[in-house]
Amino acid sequence: MSQSSRATDAAAPRAIGTYENDAADELPFDDASDDASLKRATVRRHYKGDIVGSSIAHVSIYRATPDRLGYVAVDQFAGVLAGRKGGFAFQHGGSIDRGVLRPFGYIVPGSGTGELAGIAGDIEIAFVPPATHTITLTYRFER
């Protein structure tokens, strides 16, 4: 059974929410680099819906053109999921080609804290221009 299929089992709980990017900085990835297309960013987000809280994301971005890019990110989330208070880290990324996002994402194994200790699963992020982000978590708690 693949890592993805374990988390997306039909019996696994799902949480759906939206988030907004409250603040972001985008800087050259490396001051010595001649390639201005490679950037790094820190993004602060807040979530509402089935997942409530905030996160800080560290993001690497390669922007080929304004509407074509690839990114990878790690978010550290703190808040409430399904009535449980705590936190976890999740990794996600994808390519955006003329507004179409091809994403991947998962909860970092062993990263759960507080009442979210033992959480595992997958993350799916959808983007609707100009600024709507939907996040879907399919998760379980390890025993």
Q: Over 50: is that where the pLDDT of 6 sits?
A: no
Residue pLDDT, tens place only, 49-93: 999 999 999 999 998 898 899 999 999 999 999 999 999 999 999
Q: What is the pTM of this model?
A: 0.84
Residue pLDDT, tens place only, 16-49: 999 988 888 887 777 666 666 899 999 999 999 9
The alpha-helical segments, DSSP class H, found in the chain are 3-7
Question: Cβ neighbours of residue 115 under 8 Å, at least 6 residues apart?
Answer: 84, 85, 86
- Banded pLDDT at 1 (limits 50, 70, 90): very low
123: β partners: 137
Fold of 18-141: AOC barrel-like (2.40.350)
pLDDT for the residue 40 = 92
Task: Answer for the pair 73, 58: CB distance below 8 angstroms, yes or no.
Answer: yes
Question: Does residue 3 sit in helix, strand or coil?
Answer: helix
DSSP 81: E
**89-107 mean pLDDT:** 93
Q: Which residue has the higher pLDDT, 120 or 5?
A: 120
pLDDT for the residue 127 = 78
pLDDT for the residue 24 = 83
Task: Answer for the pair 88, 102: CB distance below 8 angstroms, yes or no.
Answer: no
- Euclidean distance between CA atoms 112 and 77, whole angstroms: 9
